[in-house]
Amino acid sequence: MSLATAALLQFPATPAGVSTDADAVRGELDVRLVMRHAGARLLRLRYELVGAAGAPVVLVAGGISAHRHIAANAGFGEKGWAEGLVGTGRALDPGRCRLLGLDFVGADGELDVPIDTADQADAVAALLDALKIERLHGFVGYSYGALVGQQLAIRHPHRLAILVAASGAHRPHPYASAWRALQRRAVALGQLQCAEAHGLALARQFAMLSYRTPEEFGERFDAAPEVVNGRVRVAAEDYLDAVGAQYVARTRVDAYLRLSESIDLHRVDPAAIAVPTLVIAVEGDRLVPLSDLVALVEGLGPRGSLRVLRSPYGHDAFLKETDRIDAILANALRLSGDPA
């Protein structure tokens, strides 16, 4: 695909927060993207690239709440969203590869239009152009990131050698779509009268039930309910309060709404994914059922393979079962320096 859509490159941009210390660089660039549902738009892309120049590049993209800061590094010391997966000796070792992270289009909350996963893939291709990365050694996508990876493999197959698609199918399950639609309604209810944060917190709390499992809740929240100020309060509510507050503190409402929608817009033909693809599925994921990932792998034909985990963390297993995910990634990415 032509990248005539990516014009107006400003690279490297140097606003506040940019650093090139210690093999870690953050940057931004403005691109003009022809979006599937919203026409031509000027967008600002934000990325972080960590690791030795010349090493193979692995892009790591997470769920709709993930961002460009994958893990703490010498340049940017705060924790990242996939902290447990990155480090010396890990499959994602900044000593042996360069790790590329990005903020999804729409994640800054500045874009109030439907966003397609195809748009995200075009933005990734524009970013790779700007960074002069011809081809990713690997694209590791988890949840929403897996959908973006599928689109990149369909629209720009020459830009990646291997796709690892964890906990994200070629289309959303109708039950999961209904669940997300109701979360968006919670936000809309809050917006009715200036309780936007309240609605967003409730949406996140409902989402958390889809990310985790009854097994985990059964172990953690076994205590009897209490009656507080005449109302019943169940054992999980302290946790859910914290989940909501954390999310509201770091998330713009439009970012949440539009990226949530974007998951529901995703529909691709697995046969069109023209890149070797490892699918990681979690038995017990309430959002992305194993059966849908089996269908994805079947559609991939000889290019597809499947690894299935059992985990009480369900959809969040990618972020929680880091040793097991690391072993799978090590095998899939086979970076130089790995044992044969």
Distance CA 248, CA 224 (A): 28
* Amino acid type, 324: R
Of 194, 302, 323, 336, the residue at the interface with its own copies (CB under 8 A) is 194
Query: Coil, strand, or helix at residue 233?
Result: strand
- Cβ proximity to its own copies, 39 vs 54, nearer residue: 39
For the CB of residue 158, give the shortest distance to its own copies in the complex, in Å. Answer: 29
CA dihedral 299, 301, 305, 311 (to 10 degrees): 20
Is 11 a binder of its own copies (CB under 8 A)?
no
Is 39 a binder of its own copies (CB under 8 A)?
no
Q: Is-catalytic flag, 285?
A: yes
Is 44 a binder of its own copies (CB under 8 A)?
no
Rounded to 5 degrees, what angle do the CA atoms 5, 6, 10 make?
155
Distance CA 278, CA 257 (A): 29
Is 233 a binder of its own copies (CB under 8 A)?
yes
**Quick one: which segment of 5-13, 21-29, 177-185, 322-330 binds its own copies (CB under 8 A)?**
177-185
- Cβ proximity to its own copies, 2 vs 193, nearer residue: 193
- The site that binds its own copies (CB under 8 A) totals a number of residues, namely 52
* Amino acid type, 233: R
Residue of 116, 119, 285, 316 marked catalytic: 285
Q: Is-catalytic flag, 23?
A: no
Q: Is-catalytic flag, 311?
A: no
Is 83 a binder of its own copies (CB under 8 A)?
no
- x-or-dash string of contact with its own copies, 101-120, rule CB under 8 A: ------------xx------
Of 18, 40, 42, 178, the residue at the interface with its own copies (CB under 8 A) is 178
- Cβ proximity to its own copies, 293 vs 325, nearer residue: 293
Is 315 a binder of its own copies (CB under 8 A)?
no
* Residue 173 CB partners (closer than 8 Å, separation 6+): 287, 288, 289, 292
Is 250 a binder of its own copies (CB under 8 A)?
no
For the CB of residue 284, give the shortest distance to its own copies in the complex, in Å. Answer: 12
Strands 231-233, 226-228: pairing is: antiparallel
Is 284 a binder of its own copies (CB under 8 A)?
no
- Cβ proximity to its own copies, 49 vs 169, nearer residue: 169
Query: Coil, strand, or helix at residue 288?
Result: coil
Query: Coil, strand, or helix at residue 1?
Result: coil
Q: 42 - beta bridge partners?
A: 32
Of 51, 149, 199, 284, the residue at the interface with its own copies (CB under 8 A) is 199
Query: Coil, strand, or helix at residue 278?
Result: strand
Residue 149 near residue 293 (C-beta atoms within 8 A):
no
Q: 140 - beta bridge partners?
A: 60, 164
Phi first, then psi: give them for residue 328, nearest 5 degrees: -70, -45
Residue 137 near residue 54 (C-beta atoms within 8 A):
no
Nearest-10 crossing angle of helices 174-191, 253-265: 160
Q: Using CB under 8 A as the criterion, which residues of the chain lie in contact with its own copies when the complex forms?
A: 37, 113-114, 173-182, 185-186, 189-190, 192-195, 198-199, 202, 205-206, 209, 213-214, 217-218, 220-222, 224-225, 227, 230-237, 240, 261, 264-265, 267, 286, 289
> Which residues are designated catalytic?
143, 285, 315
